[in-house]
Chain A
Amino acid sequence: MSGAWVCRLAGVAGLLMLGGCSSNWGWYVVNPATPTGWRNLLFLVDGLYFTIGLSVTAILISIVLGLLIALPGLAARRVPRAINRTYVELVRAVPILVLILWVYYGLPQIAAISISVFWAGVIALAISDSAFQAEIFRAGIQSVDRGQYEAAHSISLNYRDTMRYVILPQAIKRILPALGNQLVYMLKMSSLVSVIGMQELTRRANELVVTEYRPLEIYTVLVLEYLVLILMVSAGVRWLERRFAVSER
Chain B
Amino acid sequence: MSEKPLITLTGVTKSFGAFKALDDVSLAVDAGQKLVICGPSGSGKSTLIRCINRLEKHEAGVITIGGIVIDDSAAGRQALRNNVGMVFQQFNLFPHLTILQNLTLGPMRARKLPAAEARDLAIHYLERVRIPEQLDKYPAQLSGGQQQRVAIARALCMTPQIMLFDEPTSALDPEMIAEVLDVIEELADTGMTMICVTHEMGFARQVADMMLFMDQGRIVETAPPRTFFTTPQSARCKAFLGQILRHEVRL
Binding site for B on A (CB under 8 A): 145, 147-148, 150-151, 153-158, 161, 165-166, 169-170, 173, 247-249
Complex CA gap A201/B236 in Å reads: 78
Q: CB-nearest residue of chain A relative to B93? A: A151
Q: Is A158 in contact with B141, judged by CB distance below 8 angstroms?
A: no
22 residue pairs of the A-B complex, CB under 8 angstroms, read A147-B88, A150-B55, A151-B92, A151-B94, A151-B151, A153-B54, A154-B85, A154-B155, A155-B85, A155-B110, A155-B154, A156-B81, A156-B106, A156-B111, A156-B158, A157-B105, A165-B94, A165-B105, A165-B109, A169-B96, A248-B96, A249-B138
Q: Which of B53, B88, B109, B158 has the most CB of A within 10 A?
A: B109
Name the B residues within 8 Å of A156 (CB-CB): 80-81, 106, 110-111, 158
Q: Given the complex of chains A and B, what is the CA–CA distance between A247 and B95 in angstroms?
A: 10
Residues of A within 8 A of B111 (CB): 156
Decide yes or no whether B65 CB sits under 8 A from chain A.
no
Taking A147-B90, A165-B97, A249-B140 as given, write out 12 further A-B residue pairs in contact, using a Cβ cutoff of 8 Å, ordered by the A residue number. A150-B86, A150-B92, A151-B92, A154-B55, A154-B84, A155-B155, A158-B110, A165-B109, A169-B96, A170-B94, A170-B95, A247-B96
Given the complex of chains A and B, what is the CA–CA distance between A249 and B140 in angstroms? Answer: 6
Do A154 and B86 touch across chains, with their CB atoms under 8 A apart?
Answer: yes
Asked, given contacts A147-B90, A154-B85, whether A170 binds B109 with beta carbons under 8 Å apart, the answer is no
Residues on A with beta carbons closer than 8 Å to the beta carbon of B54: 153
* B97 contact set on A, CB distance < 8 A: 165
For the complex, what is the distance from the CA of A247 to the CA of B94, rounded to whole Å?
Answer: 13
A150/B95 in contact, CB under 8 A: no
Which residue from A147, A157, A169, A249 sits with its C-beta under 8 Å from B106?
Answer: A157
- Chain B contacts for A157, CB-based, 8 A: 105-106, 109-110
**SS class of chain A's interface: helix, strand, loop or mixed?**
helix
In the bound complex, CA of A145 to CA of B89 (Å): 14
Query: Is B138 a contact of A161 with CB atoms below 8 Å?
Result: no
Q: Is the CB of B92 within 8 A of A147?
A: yes
In the assembled complex, the CB of A200 is this many whole angstroms from the nearest CB of chain B, namely: 38
Question: How many interface residues does B have (CB within 8 Å)?
Answer: 29
Residues of chain B having any CB pair with chain A under 8 Å: 53-55, 80-81, 84-86, 88, 90, 92-97, 105-106, 109-111, 138, 140-141, 151, 154-155, 157-158
Q: Is the CB of B86 within 8 A of A249?
A: no
Q: Give the residue name and chain of the B residue nearest to A164 (CB).
A: B109
- B95 to chain A minimum Cβ distance, whole angstroms, is 7
What residue of chain A has the Cβ atom nearest to residue B89's Cβ?
A147
Measured CA separation A150–B110 after assembly (Å): 15
The distance in angstroms between the C-alpha atoms of A158 and B110, with both chains bound, is 7
Question: Is there contact, CB below 8 Å, between A248 and B95?
Answer: yes
In the complex, what distance in Å separates the CA atom of A173 from the CA atom of B86?
A: 27
A151 to B110, CA, bound (A): 13
Q: Report B-chain residues with C-beta under 8 Å of the C-beta of A145.
A: 92
User: Quick one: closest B residue to A158, CB to CB?
Assistant: B110
Q: Which residue of A lies closest to B157 (CB)?
A: A155
Question: Do B110 and A148 touch across chains, with their CB atoms under 8 A apart?
Answer: no
The residues of A that contact B94 with a CB separation of less than 8 Å are: 148, 151, 165-166, 170
Residue among A154, A165, A248 having the largest count of chain B Cβ atoms under 10 Å? A154
- B84 smallest CB distance to A (angstroms): 8
CA A173 to CA B95, docked complex, whole Å:
12
Q: Write the chain B residue with the least CB distance to A162.
A: B109
A166 to B105, CA, bound (A): 9
Known contacts A154-B53, A154-B86; A148 and B92 CB within 8 A of each other: yes
Residue of B nearest to A155 (CB): B106
Chain A residues near B105: list those with CB within 8 A: 155, 157, 165-166
Residue among A150, A156, A173 with most chain B CB within 10 A: A156
Evaluate contact between A170 and B53: CB separation under 8 angstroms.
Answer: no
A155 to B95, CA, bound (A): 16
Q: What is the CA–CA distance of A19 and B111 in the complex, to the nearest angstrom?
A: 68
Chain A residues closer than 8 Å to B155, beta-carbon distance = 154-155
> In the assembled complex, how far is the CB of residue B87 from the closest CB belonging to chain A, in whole angstroms?
8
CA gap between A170 and B94 in the complex, in Å: 9
User: Contacts of B85 on A, CB cut-off 8 Å?
Assistant: 154-155
Minimum CB–CB distance from A14 to chain B (whole Å) comes to 44
Given contacts A156-B80, A156-B158, A170-B95, contact A151 B88 (CB under 8 A): yes
CB-CB nearest 6 A-B residue pairs: A155-B106, A151-B92, A156-B110, A147-B92, A154-B86, A156-B81
